Structure 1
Amino acid sequence: MPVFCAAYGCNNRRSVLTKSRGITFHKFPSDKGLRRQWEAALRREGFVASESSKLCSEHFKPGDFDRTGQIVRLRDGTTPSVFNLPCHPQRPVGTRNTNTSREAEESQPLDLSLRVPESEPQPNDDHSYALPDSPSHLKARLSEALARVQSLEREKENAIARERRAKKTVKSLLEDLREKNLINEELKERLDSHSDLQIDLFSKQDHEYTKDQREFVLTLHLHGPKAYSYLRDSLHLPLPHPHTLQRRLE
């Protein structure tokens, strides 16, 4: 079932386009008092929210949202306050009670396009270009969009860094050392049991080495000192200095 925003003059509906713009849709609160505040804020005379009625995020201030989780939620007690309303609430057209007027109305064809439920306004392609009703609201929306872009950029950088670290495992290093003839097949087989170790863990300050890490470092230095020096001095991997090796791994 399509989801439309119930605010007057707002034609946002849930779609790929609105999702890409960061627009979210929120149900009217179940608390009766708060629900009436939402209905009053819309300034639509006679409007009563149904279970399917929704308001989009463009009618709330940036501070009204809780974005700490995976789902964008409204903070408790929040009411909508951002609207582009006319000077006066929309009033229903008065009906005439005379016999002549009733007969005239009954003789007119029924225009089905006008009988649209209030809770589901029809979309309007022009709405995508509508601006907020004040510069302050526009500035707030731009700041919120910029913060979201920066957050996504940080997530992307972190993902790239995690992928880069994942490739720096002992297994990939052993293959590299074997191709360069810095270790023989026997030493490679001996170190294969540590192939899943993450090399970057050696660089953490105050890091207490695990049993596997101690065995890997000591075995590599004892049986492959050239390979150890190559990893430490040429590839700048965070391995202990040979002079402090025994003390650090005790």
Structure 2
Amino acid sequence: IMVKCCSAIGCASRCLPNSKLKGLTFHVFPTDENVKRKWVLAMKRLDVNAAGIWEPKKGDVLCSRHFKKTDFDRSAPNIKLKPGVIPSIFDPSSHLQEHSYSVMDSPKKLKHKLDHVISELEDTKKSLRNVLDREKRFQKSLRKTIRELKDECLISQETANRLEAFCWECCQESIERDYIS
């Protein structure tokens, strides 16, 4: 058998054998559509997958923590809610945890998101490799040009060395600046 859990966001109440002893009772959603709608709106729970207001399923419950003491009819042996009452006690910070409900995306949806991120990462790696290859080719051609200038005696060995050192520094700096940060 499945343990019933309270449907309110951020509420950890579970319907266990000792719940009643702790004064905790669990209440199914009203069959009256109008009152049910008011319960759902009071909960401010969104359904991330359906991108709308969450809808209770058959057997979903709210625990007594979300109702005022005056909402209960304690005259009967079984504690009941008075007709037409609306739950009104919700932790205001709990709806901030709503994003954790997005983890309830179906495995298929999560896999799709993961695949998308992986493919973006692969594309980024590919373009980084291309840039680094371009950088290497540029460096090679620059070195070749420096060698040719020196061979033609258009620049001295010292100038060639300085240019080569400068070219190497420049390329290293741009690689670090653009791709490591």
Scaled by the length of structure 1, the TM-score of the pair is: 0.37
Scaled by the length of structure 2, the TM-score of the pair is: 0.50
The structure in which a higher percent of residues are helix is 2
